[in-house]
Chains A and B, each alone.
Chain A
Amino acid sequence: MLEALSHLYLPGALTLWCAIFFGVATLWGYARALRDDGASLGFARSGYLFFTLSILLAGAVLFLALWRRDFRIEYVQQYSGMELAEHFQLAAFWAGQKGSFLIWLMWGAVLGLPLLRTAGRSEPTVMSVYLLTLFGLLFILVRENPFVMLPETPMDGAGLNPLLQDDWMVIHPPIMFIGYASAAVPFSFALAALWRGDFSTWATRAFPWALAGFLVLGLAIMLGGYWAYETLGWGGYWGWDPVENASLIPWLIGGVLIHGLYLERSRGRYRRLNLVLSCLLYLSVLYGTFLTRSGVLADFSVHSFVDLGISGWLVALMAFFFFASIFLLATRLRHVPTRTNEDPMLSRGTALVLATLTLGASALVVTFGTSAPLITGWFMESPGQVGPEFYNTVNMPLALMLSILLATVPFLTWRGVEPGKLLRRLVPSFLAAVAITVLGLIIGLEEVFHAVFLFLAAWASTANLHRVIELVRDRGVVGIGGYLSHVGVGVMLIGVLASGAYDQSAKVTLPQGEAVAVDDMSFTFTRFIPRQGREKERMEVLVERGNDRFTLYPKLFVNDRTRQLMANPDIRTTPLQDLYVSPIQYLPPQPPRVDERVDMAQGERVRIGPLDIRFIDYQVEGGDPRVALASGRSVEVGAVLEVSRDGDSQRLEPIFRFRSDGRVETPPLELAQSGTLALTGIDPNSGRIQLDILGVQADELPARLSIDVTQKPLIQLVWLGLAIILTGGGLSTLKRFKTVRKLDEQEAAAAAVG
């Protein structure tokens, strides 16, 4: 027993065991509370408080270990290092799988505290389901323990991947995990309602939570997109990669759910569907985690996902909640009271139903596309995948449909409107959208389809803006949340169109000190700035555009950890567009005479001054070296090289000779134009060879920097639109939490009377 424990860091491991203990106690307390009319609620709540404290303590222990750089702990060794700056210790916390699950669990536990206060009479059942979801994560952590210790204490850690040493990476993942954790809340309300057979208030109570989760996940996706844009240097913010889709799918389902809950609250519709949607929301979070953490997509993504042995756990967890949901839905759903659809055609109800269908269709196609390797693996001969093209094309009609709905919905009422009246109400926003489209055509819209897209997106914004203005004028800010969000959706769609379809890109090579013109700008590569402390190698590029002069510093450096060449773009942001400069390649200046020592592996190719050298193969002569040397013969090891200069190539076979008297000879060979080459070393372990190249005469060349220059018009609208969506959603969330408080008061009053 003790031996099995000795590889764990006890303070950390203890906190996890305490969490299990208090979690079980809480479950027991809630189970009793179901039968003793709430007398055990106090016990259960204290149990939950201690459960939460234990988990927070586990997080604190891991954080302290990172802070103190306690490399005894494997996780610390893997993600931290002596060189790592203090504030990136936080990024190291969630850089790995174990830390990610821990932060997810921490948020889950913390969210449970306000949850038990807003669950009302259903608290015992809601909290029991909720605790079970947390137990799933807790078991994964006990199995894949972040507190595993190494047999020996290393001097230094492996360090954190430099891509994650970024301020956005300090805040993006934890926000993402708040979103993931919050998906369990509507799920718990739904399962609890099914379990108790009481469907009267769950939607009211789950609504603000669904909204808040939707917001937080949206914020996280936006931060992730911005990180990709400003750090990765491939020029975009969204690439439809499985990792991105794994967070988008729950977000889209969350979008369907909040509109469904709105329909249920306002019209009593979607009562059954919302229960299903709440289950789907949580299951989609688990499914996304499974896709990205289990290694099933290893061959299909640039992220080389690895299976750390948790895929079995994730599958078990998914299966458990899937079958629990199916069982409860199958047995209880028919007891849910429904209301027949009496909404007129031209009414808000119809528009909302269509909107949920549209968002749902988008969620479905993204899920289908992301799962393509799995689905095709089952049903087809050879598994395959789909690229961004698929997602863009398929979502396009959905975005148009959504825009039309968004434009009309502010002026539709539940009871329906006369078509004539609706049209009159739509006139101002229609004219505004036409004006925007005309402006777009003047600026340079090229395709009719783009004009249609711009018009509809603009109309979605202007119509909702119109309604927001009316509401603020008549009733203040209460109730503008939804409309304000919809203004943001239109703005964001315009930004996506402009920056996606109208970006201009050019690859240019800049000789140092020489101005090169691109479009109406001039670029001068002024100098290469070597690494200074933690600041990576940077390129100084002076940009002139009319009277505007500024300097950009794109980075190009070798990742210390992976030895991979990394490029970080630099961005000049102006209100109307971003100038995005991403470095591609840097060639150091070439001196007039080249003397250099290089080492290379077989198959490798290097460029030395004007020479291009390829190491093709070895050549060993003289038989077994030991026999040869013992019998007084010498042993020769040769390398077969191909050396090209200015298009002429030459085959060279330099040799490295061990003589029987112990001396070594490395005869230099003449190169075609000038200089010599000799094989001066062979590393028997790595198989690498060392070459000495001397006296190569070359033309003096300045350093050259190749960059990718992209102008992204109106990309600010993407971020602005998202910010508006989030602000509007925030207002709605506050409003819906107030409704819950009112419900609490009513229930308290009813209990007092009863």
Chain B
Amino acid sequence: MNDTTRKTLTYLLGATMLLVFAGFSYSKFTSALTPYVSYEKAIESERAVQVAGGLEQGSSMYDDTEGLLRFTLVDPERPGETMRVRYEGLKPANFEDAISIVAIGQYDAGAEEFAANDLLVKCPSKYQGVEEYDEKSYGSESAPSVEPAMMTTNTAASSG
């Protein structure tokens, strides 16, 4: 094998490796992607998706011994469209004040509800400072020695 063929082979090998990696990344990308969909699509979908909406008043139920949260999302653009959501995990603080909730997960046809793995909760924003850093907070309503949370605003999102 002379030098030129060897070099050509090297380049070919390199290009193949890059292509394989590109293909691998792309397939991982499409499988890891959780698209934002409507409730209707979420029910049909067989993959993890994210749905967003407002919290239906009085729909949230939290069992703090089991750490199980259930609530109903209302589509702000299509009123009347709702989605029951189940989330196993700690209830994000100030959950009731949320102006918008994003639930990431998959529809559970057996239980007829959306099983969320993760919640992104957006609360009304008054301050601009808090958004810069992550507030991954854990919590339930039973805060120690503090008065119950009043109707103050909450900028930071939280995820359980």
Contact = CB atoms under 8 A, between A and B. Distances in A.
Interface stretch (A215-223, A389-397, A440-448): A389-397
Nearest to B65: A509
A654 B125 CA distance: 34
B145 interface: yes
A105 interface: no
A178 interface: no
B140 A585 contact: yes
Interface residues of B, number: 71
Contacts of A558: 143, 146, 149
A556 B94 contact: no
Contact of A382 (B37, B120, B156): B37
B59 A603 contact: yes
Given A564-B158, A566-B135, A365 B142 contact: no
Instruction: Name, among B24, B104, B130, B142, the residue most crowded by chain A CB atoms within 10 Å (CB to CB).
Output: B130
Main secondary structure of the interface of B (DSSP, over half): loop
A383 interface: yes
A302 B64 contact: no
Could you tell me the dominant secondary structure of chain A's interface residues? mixed
Contacts of B24: 394, 397
A357 interface: yes
A688 interface: yes
Contacts of A163: 133, 135
Contact of A234 (B94, B136, B157): B136
Contacts of A586: 142-144
B76 interface: no
A686 B151 contact: yes
A243 B156 CA distance: 14
A160 B34 CA distance: 34
B138 to A, nearest CB: 5
A304 B125 contact: yes
Interface string B26-46: 001100111111000100000
A122 interface: no
Contact of B157 (A304, A384, A385, A686): A304
B155 A304 contact: yes
Interface string A392-427: 011001100000000000000000000000000000
Interface in A27-77: none
Interface stretch (A1-9, A514-522, A593-601, A667-675): A593-601
Contact of A600 (B14, B132, B148): B148
A372 B129 contact: no
B142 A607 contact: yes
B153 A606 contact: no
A382 B129 contact: no
Nearest to A94: B132
B131 A393 contact: no
Interface in A585-636: 585-588, 598-607, 614-617
Nearest to A364: B25
Contact of A563 (B41, B129, B145, B150): B150
A603 B55 CA distance: 10
Contact of A299 (B60, B102, B132, B136): B102
Contacts of A562: 94, 123, 127, 130, 135, 152-156
A749 interface: no
B34 A387 contact: yes
Contact of B32 (A341, A381, A386, A599): A386
A528 B157 contact: no
Contacts of A160: 129
Given A228-B134, A587-B142, A603 B29 contact: no
B142 A390 contact: no
Contacts of A734: none
A305 B122 CA distance: 11
Contact of A384 (B28, B35, B118): B35
Contacts of A601: 96, 151
Q: How large is the interface on A (under 10, 10 to 19, 20 to 34, 35 or more residues)?
A: 35 or more
Contact of A243 (B49, B94, B134): B134
A389 B28 CA distance: 9
A564 B139 contact: yes
Contacts of A354: 14
Nearest to A389: B32
B58 A616 contact: yes
Given A397-B24, A563-B149, A565-B139, A303 B133 contact: yes
Contact of A561 (B10, B60, B127, B141): B127
A564 B156 contact: yes
A23 interface: no
Nearest to A350: B10
A78 B127 contact: yes
Contacts of A577: none
Given A603-B58, A688-B151, A528 B134 contact: no
A233 interface: yes
A380 interface: yes
B138 A582 contact: yes
Contacts of A305: 131
Contacts of A308: 128
A530 interface: yes
Contacts of B60: 603, 605
Nearest to A509: B65
B57 A603 contact: yes
A96 B134 contact: no
B2 to A, nearest CB: 13
Contacts of B131: 303-306
Contacts of A382: 35-37, 41
A224 to B, nearest CB: 9
B93 interface: yes
Given A299-B52, A299-B102, A95 B35 contact: no
Contact of B21 (A341, A397, A557): A397
A599 B150 CA distance: 9
Interface in A685-703: 686, 688
Interface in A70-102: 78-79, 95-97, 100
A723 B102 CA distance: 38
- Of the listed residues B57, B62, B144, the one surrounded by the most CB atoms of chain A closer than 10 A to its CB is B144
Contact of B93 (A301, A564, A605, A614): A564
A387 B96 contact: no
A567 interface: yes
A606 B60 CA distance: 12
A305 B28 CA distance: 27
B159 interface: yes
Given A306-B128, A565-B143, A686-B151, A602 B21 contact: no
Given A158-B127, A384-B50, A588-B145, A303 B36 contact: no
B16 to A, nearest CB: 13
B44 to A, nearest CB: 13
Interface in B101-133: 102, 104, 118, 120, 122-123, 125, 127-133
A233 B142 CA distance: 18
Nearest to A601: B96
B12 interface: no
7 contacts: A96-B128, A232-B136, A302-B158, A341-B7, A385-B34, A565-B140, A588-B142
The 10 closest A-B pairs by CB, nearest first: A565-B139, A384-B35, A390-B32, A603-B58, A565-B93, A234-B136, A382-B35, A386-B32, A384-B33, A564-B93
Given A234-B136, A617-B58, 4 more contacts: A96-B132, A303-B156, A566-B139, A588-B144
